[in-house]
Amino acid sequence: MIYWDHAGTTPPDDDVVSTMAEVMKKHYGNPSALHQYGEEAAKLLKKAREVCAAALEAEPSEIVLTSGATEGNNMAIKGAALQYKSRGKHLITTRTEHPSVYESFRQLEQLGWEVTYVPVDANGRVDVQALADAVRKDTVLVSIMHVNNETGAVQPLMEIGQTVKQRNHRTLFHIDGVQGFGKLEVSLKNWQADLYTLSAHKFNGPRGIGVLYVRRGVELFPLLSGGQQENGHRAGTENVAAAVGMAKAMRLGRERQPEFYRQASLIRNKLLQEIAEIPGTVMNSSREGAPHIMNFSYPGVKPEVIVHALEELGMLVSTKSACSSKLSEPSRVLLEMGKDMSIASSGIRISLGRHHRLEDAERLIDALKTATGKLRPFIERKGT
Ligand code: PMP
């Protein structure tokens, strides 16, 4: 089998797994405890936080450990909205965000906040002028993702950060960075980010842990009440083993990023070119996007049919994103990019990991030709 679903989740590195196993066995103390087991665990946690901070060129005190990006995104968006409601109740995002962002805004709308959804272009990139026009005096938060999890579209974060801060220097800028870290360059300073979310299982770390970067001086209303862990941002006994594993994966992710980018770009260029030549293919991603996520449709054919046909040929790919692949609705992301219903209902996603080579791409292209060849009579032609 060849696994093409790294945007869904990545295999944890062997080193990460063995380090975590050791921590779980040997250092199970509660980091809040005063005895030596507690102190040992607290030391490991402190070190892990420093490593995570270094990978983002941030301060350890700016790193909040979460259970993953769903929690991080909820915490950033709802926490900022609640904390700063005296400044205003206006928020800005797009309709192409991950459900953990989009649904957080939908919930805030139900609770009385006003949300402006800025449009994206045909490539999924935010209309920065529309964003500039949308920022107001009472805009508390703008949330825009780095890399789209369905299409790989990359947002111009530096331009967005500049625009937001020029319009209103008090407006907070949150970035869902989940699909970008370890793949593209990250610079929270250049982006003028106030809040930045990551999830360890997307960069060969463990599942169930993530980082929310909270810039010094920014306060969040805590969603989980209880103890004073994570500087009062998130109550609950810390998962020390997962934190240590994530820190290792983050350091490696940052170190390997340039090489990943180079290798993934080579494979992506081949895939994009040769898949586009398969009759009936409609491409939903372009070379402008991130090198590791590609999306394309065979309108008229249910994407599950192609996913299963590819699986029989040894290729594991996905439809939309893992979080919404069991829903048979069209992709909200593709619709927002202006794709029609039949294209938006038939998106297939392939996402690369660090072990892929050009030969793997050749096998995938052959499999896709075979799978779609049999389905050709059912594929609607869209003039491509
Ligand atoms: N944001 C994006 C862009 C994602 O791709 C994901 C994972 N599908 C999440 C947030 C949520 O991450 P987690 O599953 O770790 O909660």
Q: Residue 331 maps to which CATH number?
A: 3.90.1150.10
Domain of 241?
Answer: 14-252
247 and 267 share a domain? no
Average pLDDT, the chain: 96
Which residue blocks in 111-209 are alpha helix, DSSP H?
A: 128-134, 157-167, 188-191
181 and 324 share a domain? no
Last residue of one domain, picked from the residues 236, 252, 268:
252
Report how far residue 367's alpha carbon sits from residue 159's, in angstroms, rounded to the nearest whole number: 40
pLDDT band at 98 (very low <50, low <70, confident <90, very high): very high
| Residue whose CA is at the smallest distance from ligand 1 atom 7 | 8
Most informative mutation of 9, 100, 203, 333 for ligand 1 (most atoms within 8 A of CB): 100
The finding on whether 207 has its CB within 6 A of some atom of ligand 1 is no
The finding on whether 151 has its CB within 6 A of some atom of ligand 1 is no
- This prediction's pTM: 0.97
The finding on whether 104 has its CB within 6 A of some atom of ligand 1 is no
| Pairing label, strands 210-214, 282-283 | unpaired
Q: What is the pLDDT of residue 381?
A: 81
Average the pLDDT over 250-260 and give the result: 98
Active-site positions?
323
Query: Do the beta carbons of residue 64 and residue 205 sit within 8 Å?
Result: no
Average the pLDDT over 345-370 and give the result: 97
The finding on whether 97 has its CB within 6 A of some atom of ligand 1 is no
Note whether residue 225 is domain-resident. yes
Question: Quick one: the chain helix, strand, coil %, rounded to 5?
Answer: 45, 15, 40
155 and 266 share a domain? no
The finding on whether 178 has its CB within 6 A of some atom of ligand 1 is yes
Note whether residue 384 is domain-resident. no
Note whether residue 205 is domain-resident. yes
The finding on whether 176 has its CB within 6 A of some atom of ligand 1 is yes
Report how far residue 5's alpha carbon sits from residue 179's, in angstroms, rounded to the nearest whole number: 12
201 and 247 share a domain? yes
The residue ranking higher by pLDDT, 326 or 119, is 119
Average the pLDDT over 81-103 and give the result: 98
Note whether residue 383 is domain-resident. no
The amino acid at residue 348 is I
300 and 373 share a domain? yes
Rg (CA), the chain: 21
**How many Å separate Cα 116 from the centre of its chain?**
21
275 and 374 share a domain? yes
Identify which of 150, 154, 189, 151 has the alpha carbon closest to the alpha carbon of residue 173.
189
**207 Cα to the center of ligand 1, angstroms:** 11
Last residue of one domain, picked from the residues 229, 252, 275:
252
**9 Cα to the center of ligand 1, angstroms:** 9
From residue 238, how far is each of 44, 58, 59, 65, 223 by CA, in Å? 11, 20, 19, 8, 16
Note whether residue 65 is domain-resident. yes
Note whether residue 314 is domain-resident. yes
77 and 120 share a domain? yes
**99 Cα to the center of ligand 1, angstroms:** 8
Average the pLDDT over 227-241 and give the result: 92
- pLDDT tens-digit profile of 293-335? 999 999 999 999 999 999 999 999 999 755 555 556 899 999 9
**373 Cα to the center of ligand 1, angstroms:** 33
Q: Which atom of ligand 1 is nearest to the CA of 207?
A: 15
Residue corresponding to tokens 């800028």: 173
The amino acid at residue 345 is S
Q: What is the pLDDT of residue 247?
A: 98
60 and 101 share a domain? yes
Note whether residue 62 is domain-resident. yes
DSSP β-bridge partners for residue 351: 5, 293
Q: What is the pLDDT of residue 329?
A: 84
Last residue of one domain, picked from the residues 209, 230, 252:
252
Average the pLDDT over 232-237 and give the result: 91
pLDDT band at 383 (very low <50, low <70, confident <90, very high): low
**143 Cα to the center of ligand 1, angstroms:** 14
Domain count, the chain: 2
